[in-house]
Amino acid sequence: MTTSVDELRARVSSLMGQAREDLAELVACKSVADPRQYPASECIKAAQLVIDKFTEAGLRDARLEEMPDGHPAVYGHIPAPPGAPTVLLYCHYDVQPPLDPTGEWKSPPFQLTERDGRWYGRGTADCKGNVVMHLTALRALQGELPVGVKLIAEGAEEIGGGGIEQFVPEHADLLRAETIVIADAGNFEVGSPTLTTILRGIANVVVRVSTLEGPMHSGMFGGPAPDALLALIGMLATLRDARGNTTIHGLDCDARWDGVDYPPEQFRADARVLDGVELLGDGRIQDMLWSRPAVNVLGIDCPPVVGSTTAVQAQASARVSLRVPPGIDAKLAQDALVAHLQAVTPWNARVEIDREVDAQPFVARTDGPAYAAISGALEEAFGRPTTTAGQGGSIPLCNALRDTYPDAEIMLLGVEEPQCLIHAPNESVDPREIERMALAEALFLGGYSRTGR
């Protein structure tokens, strides 16, 4: 690439107005990949925007590719010059539903709104902000690409349908690349360039407890009548000890993280922990986040407080999430969770446990030329050294890509950082992160070559 760093920086800066318009259009699409909540046409509208915008940025043959789960992804490519490597860019255009039972959203979730220098709206960070990051980087290069580029923008990442994980090995040549950039992660904090090197896996279950043929009057039968909700609460309480350590029988919960340090005061602020409430576990923050299993209760089905009757409950159920660190097999962890819940079921209550999809942990390579190139590009763009961190979330696609392309370097980065509040009300993105990350990606694409391969 003959373009200087300063010129490329100026190009990216000049494109930020267009980046805001791009993001506003994408955020306006209610692209929740669940037709029970929003029409499927909203996802198609978002996908078509991705097709149109990346075509303008130079992608060829941008089109919808049907995934096995029925949710289409966007694919397009720019052929590599002879002898040059190809980089696969990943992102997703679907979003989490903007659930707001307590009215916490301060502005309409599907309308990009600027407040205090941040851009608010569902998907501004996860992951439409990363879509715009890719788009801005390609626009900045203005066709000056010494590498090939492929794009795959998934349409059902947030519901975990698994379609793209099945699609990858079945279409290995279509997506084949020497380097894969997964833009569904982000920086440790605003302004701190970060590459994510590990992902926890996931092993969820739904547990249902039944004790009576139907609810019974608590005055007439309460006492000896077995309460299904109390039974469930007791079972769930055994999953952590009094200090908050995960205590699932058969799982190692004592490992330590040897990467970046996460100060407790910074974590408290990032996680919005209430004053006086204690953090959980006996390990350091980074140990609890990235090296140890973590169990949480995602939801409980039982009568709500308002409208509840004076009755002993006959049935209750809960969705339990288990995050699995590298070094532990997700399927074996799920087995351990199921066995634990069965073992602690009280009163010989009837228990049914449904296994949801599991995803294995992931560890990225950090010894290849692409990793060195992107690390240098991030440092150039941000003006400070690149750091590494883990991520508590799971991206099952990473394992499918690693299994299909064992020699490829897979790198995780993006515009997300703790203030973004992804998956929560008032999701936002710092536009400076989009600008700096787009510059870093442009520097990487413009300077990466086969040197050292």
Q: Pick the catalytic residue from 65, 69, 126, 157.
A: 157
Integer angstrom CA distances of residue 283 from 53, 81, 198, 290, 394: 46, 50, 18, 11, 21
Q: Are 320 and 338 in contact (CB under 8 A)?
A: no
Other Cβ atoms within 10 Å of 244 Cβ, number: 14
Q: Pick the catalytic residue from 22, 42, 94, 430.
A: 94
Please say if 157 is a catalytic residue.
Answer: yes
- Which residues pair with residue 119 across a beta bridge? 114, 429
Integer angstrom CA distances of residue 20 from 133, 431, 442: 11, 8, 18
Amino acid residing at 50: V
Please say if 94 is a catalytic residue.
Answer: yes
Q: Which residues contact 430 (CB under 8 A, 6 or more apart)?
A: 117, 118, 119, 190, 415, 417, 419, 420
Say if strands 179-183 and 409-413 run parallel, antiparallel, or are unpaired: parallel
Count of CA atoms in the C-beta half-sphere (13 A) of 314: 6
d(CA 239, CA 245): 8
Nearest Cα neighbor of 150 from 79, 71, 252 is: 79
Active site residues: 94, 157
